[in-house]
Homo-oligomer: A and B are copies of this chain.
Amino acid sequence: MKKLEDKISKNGKVLSDQILKVDSFLNHQIDPVLMQEIGNEFAEKFKGEGITKIVTLESSGIAPAMMTGLVLGVPVVFARKRKSLTLINELYSASVHSFTKEEKNEISVSKDYLSQDDHVLLIDDFLANGQAVEGLLSIVEQAGASLAGVGIVIEKGFQPGGEMIRNRGIRVESLAIIQSLENGKVSFAEGSTL
């Protein structure tokens, strides 16, 4: 997605060979117009798939997921990062390790909002080591729901998550795929805008 790549090139901050900060339009400050365009793009890719629900993870997945849900006309469920006071047997949950933050989170979705009748599109802001997506996939599986695919705003192509998930036969659509952050420069993979 050309406009997203331009935004990353212009406003992303390369903190190291591994870390890209996109706090100015995606993770902390949000650009609503860009989010709308991202939502349109995901909806275009997955329309006609019979999706009944979008599942994402708080907090940075909510904006792109909601814009996609608006276009597809389906509800969005965001997995929470820690257990509320709700009883554990009312939840689907999975353990997710964050390499960036060096912490483990329990993520969970209420059984009320995901079932075997659902055909799910997973949306997340980043795909790097794939831990968050794996956790969400586990939740979809626990619910007995089927999966249409995974929509990612920014994939770090030089980290193993994308390959790992595609190797399971899962359709992954990333709107921007970063090939390298070396020398403080963002390089995109060929064809990431397909």
| Given A58-B58, A59-B62, A63-B66, A75 contacting B112 (CB threshold 8 A) | no
Q: How many residues on the A side are at the interface (Cβ–Cβ under 8 A)? A: 33
* A122–B84 alpha-carbon span in the complex (Å): 25
| Given A58-B59, A101-B85, A30 contacting B66 (CB threshold 8 A) | yes
* A62–B84 alpha-carbon span in the complex (Å): 19
Interface residue? A144 (CB, 8 A) = no
Which residues from B are CB-within-8-Å of A75? Answer: 25, 29-32
Interface residue? A23 (CB, 8 A) = yes
In the complex, which of the residues B28, B36, B80, B110 contacts A78, with contact meaning CB atoms closer than 8 Å?
B28
Q: Are A70 and B33 in contact (CB under 8 A)?
A: yes
Q: Are A66 and B35 in contact (CB under 8 A)?
A: yes
Q: Are B66 and A28 in contact (CB under 8 A)?
A: no
Task: Bits for A114-135, please: 1 = Cβ < 8 Å to B, else 0.
Answer: 0000000000000000000000
User: How far is the CB of A36 from the nearest CB of chain B, in Å?
Assistant: 6
Q: Name A's interface SS.
A: mixed
Interface residue? A151 (CB, 8 A) = no
Q: Are A76 and B112 in contact (CB under 8 A)?
A: no
Q: Are B33 and A110 in contact (CB under 8 A)?
A: no
Q: Are B28 and A80 in contact (CB under 8 A)?
A: yes
* A35–B62 alpha-carbon span in the complex (Å): 12
Which residues from B are CB-within-8-Å of A58? Answer: 58-59
Pick the 6 closest A-B CB pairs, nearest first: A58-B59, A32-B70, A32-B69, A29-B113, A30-B76, A59-B59
A-B contact pairs, 24 of them (CB 8 A): A23-B112, A23-B113, A24-B113, A28-B77, A28-B78, A28-B80, A28-B113, A29-B77, A29-B110, A30-B62, A30-B69, A30-B75, A30-B77, A30-B78, A32-B74, A32-B76, A33-B70, A33-B73, A36-B70, A58-B59, A59-B59, A62-B66, A63-B76, A66-B67
